[in-house]
Chains A and B, each alone.
Chain A
Amino acid sequence: MAEVAHAEVGHGDAHDDHHEQSFWSKYVFSTDHKIIGFQYMFTGMAMALIGGYFAYVFRMQLAFPGNSIPFWGTLSPAAYNSLVTNHGTIMIFWVAMPVLIAAMGNFLIPLMIGCDDMVFPRVNRLSYQIFLLSAIVLIISFFVPGGGFGGAWTAYPPLSAKAEYNSTPFGAPLWLIAVTLEIVAFLLGGINFITTTMNARAKGMKMYDIPMIVWMIVIASILFMCSVGPLIAGAVMLLFDQTLGTAFFDAAAGGDPVLWQHLFWFFGHPEVYVVLLPAFGIVGEITCTFARKKLFSYKLILYSTIGLGILSFFVWAHHQFISGVDPRATYLFTTTTLLISIPVAIIMFAYIATLYGGSIRFTTAMLFGLAFTGEFLLGGVTGIWLGSSGVDIYLHDTYFVLAHFHYTFVPIAIIATFAAVYYWFPKMFGRKMNETLGKFHFWGTIIPFNGIFIPLFILGAGGQHRRIYNYQHFPDLAGADMQDMRVFATISLIVMLAFQLVFIANFIISLKKGEKAGKNPWKANTLEWITESPPPHGNFGETMPTVYRGPYEYSVEGREQDYWPQNEKPESEPS
């Protein structure tokens, strides 16, 4: 019966009709996993432009306080708060999540495990539609009376719970509704990813033949599914506090504001790993392909990832060391936080070991992949200080924290995403991206990125607090040397944003005029490279692939070619 179910689901629904479809049914209401992946990717990129624009506006205010900002005007304190809040919200929920998990998961999972579509294609379409709705609700919230929500992306009550404090009577509930809808969208996507990978793999693909990125996305989805319930519960309670007048988080009426922090961070910390793991997966694939070497210790990476996932549920209170958490509990959470660096370090070392002795090709994708490994390491290492409760009491809520998590999130959401786009662009659109423009874009992204956040580390260690509208009002923070660093960071940001135009130009030009890629431009092993570029509806045509080996058999001795596709029949068997 299970086999019948496979057949029914795989070929059921809208998948019987391979005839010409109208634009709307092909690109807007499609159930094809590739189209849904593109929808997620382009929506995420559009939202990234909004998030980047917000960063530009508030960085300008910090560098040149009170001056009129080009393309914005004078920035009010309320608008500043709203921009900071929504920059964080957008970059995590509407950029990192859709591009890394949803776009990559949708596009890659069925192709890499060798099936024709997700097992629940209509649930998949619904997932994107809810996601799009959530993005629209969020954008509407910027324009309602009172403006967009300004209580920081963590939305701590009582600031977030009462309109008399946050003065955004409509922005705050809309923000919460948007976040909740977005979460529901990924819930539906996650069900699809897990079920598809478990049930619809190509014939012969055993557990240890699954490409690492698919494992990483599946584990990330499991983390997401297990952690998201508390956030939804908290969001519903906060929404009732805002709109119905309940007092779940109101200490004056017997509620508990720290309860929100627990519910939020119980989700919030696994969420970091939810976006990190796909990035790790992307970089793992790229490292192997361009080092022409087998992934170092596949099983160890897999087990480390599972261990990391389990541990990530026991670290959340390290965000709350100064929220009145019992000091004895902080010891516990310091220990778990430091422990979690071990699996992460194992994965990093495994990637470095994969490079060792390889014949490395410095394509743009590989450069971004290597940059991820290096820059993320800085983010991880600075986290060790913040994880220690004693140090954190001083550094909490300073720019040191801010620089730390940007050194993790920018490599995840920006650098790894670029690596993925440069790497899979030929498969997505049938043409290669321009390598010269790509390298130009690479250096123009990486150098300014460090230029933004290294000064912020120094400023944070010097005591510069977060979420301040104008540092000139604080004598300790208004010195010329500190202001110079703020200006340097802002100019670096503008340079980095300007170089993204190179990427956009490269993307559009390559769509039309890029070099034809063919089926397997990088000579990689995984199943997505055996089909046409771009893959047709149904992915593999008439015969679905059969898998004979693991995904990383590069430079195998005794073979003429240095790669060995997963579906190639061994010579010992008659073909």
Chain B
Amino acid sequence: MKTMEPAYGGREIPERRSGLSNGALGMIVFIGTELMFFAALISAFLIISAAAEAWPPEGQPRLPIVITAFNSLILFASGWMMYKAFQPFKIDPYSEATRKQVRLTMWLGIIFVGIQGIEWIRLLSYGLTMTSSQYGAFFYLIIGTHALHAIGAVIGLLRLSRKLDAGDLKEETFHAVQLFWYFVVGIWPILYVLVYLS
């Protein structure tokens, strides 16, 4: 057996790597799982709706396309505000500009969830429920899952905002919340086109 000294002997010992922070990397892994979760819901939706005789089925209320399109704009604006918050954050995490942007993101998110909630109540009153048809079942399953994620993300934004006000924040927490909000905003157009426009 040959001696291994030259291959390993004089190696340089690098300093600790500075790639992605723990929070960001952990969140990316988590978002990967979430993407597969939504992919499964979407593929289930596509299989069932393709096999149905008519989609949307007859006698079921139609989904509010226009109001939701408007609501989508609110969500996109919220994502844009999150992006805008990143620039002042890099200069000074606790500056008024950062905190304002994060609060704006959060309030736009709350408005999005609120409008969705009002639309759900209207749809329920029109007779669209989880058991009324596959159409209703998938609507509440997919859009409801997204709504739960949006609520979770808004709670994350609220905590982020509190921590910014208190002046006690790890950079990685900011990255993690930011990434999760981008995920909630980014997956929405796919769901909108598939579920509302089909």
Residues of A near any B CB (own CB < 8 A): 1-6, 8-9, 119-120, 123, 187, 190-192, 194-195, 198-200, 203-204, 222, 225-230, 232-234, 236-237, 240, 244-248, 253-256, 259, 263, 266, 546, 548-550, 553, 555-558, 570, 572-573
Give 23 A-B contacts (CB < 8 Å), ordered by A residue.
A2-B18, A6-B22, A9-B22, A123-B26, A191-B29, A195-B29, A203-B15, A222-B29, A225-B30, A226-B36, A229-B35, A240-B137, A246-B137, A247-B131, A247-B134, A256-B47, A266-B40, A549-B8, A557-B1, A557-B2, A570-B10, A572-B10, A573-B10
Asked if A230 contacts B25 (CB within 8 A), the reply is no
Contacts A119-B22, A199-B25; is A226 near B33 (CB within 8 Å)?
yes
3 tightest Cβ-Cβ pairs between the two chains A and B: A229-B36, A229-B37, A230-B40
Give the residues in chain A near B170, CB-CB below 8 Å: 5, 8
Give the residues in chain B near A558, CB-CB below 8 Å: 3, 5
Contacts A229-B36, A255-B134, A557-B2; is A248 near B17 (CB within 8 Å)?
no
- Taken together as a complex, chains A and B put the C-alpha atoms of A550 and B5 apart, in Å, by 12
1/0 contact trace for B25-57 toward A, CB 8 Å?
Answer: 110011011111111110010011001100000
Most chain A beta-carbon contacts within 10 A, residue among B3, B39, B48:
B48
Asked if A5 contacts B44 (CB within 8 A), the reply is no
What is the interface of chain B mostly: helix, strand, loop, or mixed?
A: helix
- Taken together as a complex, chains A and B put the C-alpha atoms of A263 and B52 apart, in Å, by 20
Give the residues in chain A near B16, CB-CB below 8 Å: 2-3, 6, 203
- Taken together as a complex, chains A and B put the C-alpha atoms of A230 and B4 apart, in Å, by 46
Asked if A203 contacts B13 (CB within 8 A), the reply is yes
- Chain A, residue nearest B10 (CB): A572
Asked if B22 contacts A199 (CB within 8 A), the reply is yes
Residues of B near any A CB (own CB < 8 A): 1-5, 8-11, 13-23, 25-26, 29-30, 32-41, 44, 47-48, 51-52, 130-131, 133-134, 137, 141, 170-172
Give the residues in chain A near B44, CB-CB below 8 Å: 233-234, 237, 248, 259, 263
Asked if B33 contacts A3 (CB within 8 A), the reply is no
Give the residues in chain A near B25, CB-CB below 8 Å: 194-195, 198-199
- Taken together as a complex, chains A and B put the C-alpha atoms of A6 and B15 apart, in Å, by 13
What is the interface of chain A mostly: helix, strand, loop, or mixed?
A: helix
Asked if B35 contacts A556 (CB within 8 A), the reply is no
Asked if B21 contacts A204 (CB within 8 A), the reply is no
CB distance from B129 to the nearest CB of A (A): 9
Give the residues in chain A near B29, CB-CB below 8 Å: 190-191, 194-195, 222, 225
Give the residues in chain B near A255, CB-CB below 8 Å: 48, 134
Q: Count how many pairs of residues, one from A and one from B, have CB atoms less than 8 Å apart in the complex.
A: 157
CB distance from B19 to the nearest CB of A (A): 7
Give the residues in chain A near B52, CB-CB below 8 Å: 254
Give the residues in chain B near A123, CB-CB below 8 Å: 26
CB distance from A26 to the nearest CB of B (A): 25
Asked if B37 contacts A204 (CB within 8 A), the reply is no
Asked if A229 contacts B47 (CB within 8 A), the reply is no
Asked if B4 contacts A5 (CB within 8 A), the reply is no
Contacts A2-B21, A240-B141, A244-B130; is A548 near B39 (CB within 8 Å)?
no
Asked if A1 contacts B5 (CB within 8 A), the reply is no
- Taken together as a complex, chains A and B put the C-alpha atoms of A265 and B171 apart, in Å, by 39
Asked if A236 contacts B1 (CB within 8 A), the reply is no
Asked if B47 contacts A228 (CB within 8 A), the reply is no
Contacts A119-B22, A230-B39, A550-B8; is A225 near B47 (CB within 8 Å)?
no
- Taken together as a complex, chains A and B put the C-alpha atoms of A222 and B2 apart, in Å, by 36
Give the residues in chain A near B1, CB-CB below 8 Å: 555-557
CB distance from B187 to the nearest CB of A (A): 12
- Chain A, residue nearest B131 (CB): A245
Contacts A5-B172, A555-B1, A557-B3; is A253 near B134 (CB within 8 Å)?
yes
- Taken together as a complex, chains A and B put the C-alpha atoms of A381 and B189 apart, in Å, by 47
CB distance from B171 to the nearest CB of A (A): 5
Give the residues in chain A near B23, CB-CB below 8 Å: 5
- Chain B, residue nearest A241 (CB): B137
Give the residues in chain B near A256, CB-CB below 8 Å: 47-48, 51
Asked if A247 contacts B137 (CB within 8 A), the reply is yes
Give the residues in chain B near A5, CB-CB below 8 Å: 21-23, 170-172
CB distance from B49 to the nearest CB of A (A): 9
Give the residues in chain A near B37, CB-CB below 8 Å: 229-230, 232-233
Asked if B141 contacts A237 (CB within 8 A), the reply is yes
Asked if B5 contacts A548 (CB within 8 A), the reply is no
CB distance from B162 to the nearest CB of A (A): 18
Contacts A227-B36, A259-B44; is A2 near B130 (CB within 8 Å)?
no
Give the residues in chain A near B171, CB-CB below 8 Å: 1, 4-5
CB distance from B26 to the nearest CB of A (A): 5
Give the residues in chain B near A8, CB-CB below 8 Å: 170
- Taken together as a complex, chains A and B put the C-alpha atoms of A263 and B39 apart, in Å, by 11
